[in-house]
């Protein structure tokens, strides 16, 4: 069973974060620059929230707010689900699906060590299934030759 750590080894441990005092505009600019859909919100080295494109759409655009004048703390999601490095990728998918979230911070005690997305999880599962199919096809060819 694949773990989050194995996923992070392939993907990398890059963590993009922002302060709760920064503007939503800065958060969206950073997400665009890095090609990501969410940022960890970190204050004094601690994870205090997460801000996503979904937060921006629902809490800024639809509310008629200005992204330049709205601080991240006003729209960030404070109840952050997270996972651990030794958790299975399949359990992460269940957590994300059950809680309707697309991004999951990876923690080691109280230290943020990575972030995974639903896209990362799906890609990992598809690759594992493709590897399994190749293995089964190889076994079938080997059996037919005897």
DSSP letter (8 states) at residue 3? B
Higher pLDDT, 131 or 10: 10
Domain borders along the chain are 4-144
- Class at the top of the CATH hierarchy for domain 4-144: alpha beta
Please give the helix or strand (H or E) that residue 145 lies within, else none.
Answer: none
DSSP category for residue 146:
-
**pLDDT tens digits, 24-34:** 999 999 999 99
pLDDT at 144: 63
Confidence of residue 101 (pLDDT cuts 50, 70, 90): very high
Confidence (pLDDT) at 143: 61
Q: Evaluate whether 105 touches 82 at the Cβ level (below 8 Å).
A: yes
* Residue 44, CA atoms < 13 Å, CB-side half-sphere: 0
Torsion, Cα 2 119 44 61, to 10 degrees, reads -160
Give the Cα separation of 123 and 90 in Å (integer): 12
Residues 6 or more apart whose CB falls under 8 angstroms from that of 27 comprise 18, 39, 51, 56, 72
State residue 145's pLDDT score: 60
SS (H, E, C) 7-72: HHHHHCCCCCEECCCCEHHHHHHHHHHHCCCEEEEEECCEEEEEEEHHHHHHHHHCCCCCCCCCEH
């Amino acid at each position: 069973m694949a773990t989050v750590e194995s996923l992070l080894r392939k993907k990398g441990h890059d963590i993009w974060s922002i302060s709760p005092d920064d503007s939503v505009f800065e958060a969206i600019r950073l997400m665009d620059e890095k090609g990501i859909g969410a940022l960890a919100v970190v204050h004094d080295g601690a994870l205090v929230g997460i801000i996503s494109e979904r937060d921006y759409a629902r809490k800024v655009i639809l509310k008629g707010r200005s992204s330049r004048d709205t601080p991240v703390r006003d729209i960030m999601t404070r109840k952050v689900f997270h996972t651990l490095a030794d958790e299975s990728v399949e359990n992460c998918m269940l957590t994300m699906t059950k809680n309707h979230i697309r991004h999951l911070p990876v923690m080691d005690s109280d230290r943020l060590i990575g972030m995974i997305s639903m896209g990362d999880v799906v890609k990992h599962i598809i690759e594992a299934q493709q590897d399994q199919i190749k293995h089964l096809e190889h076994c079938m060819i080997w059996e037919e030759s005897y």
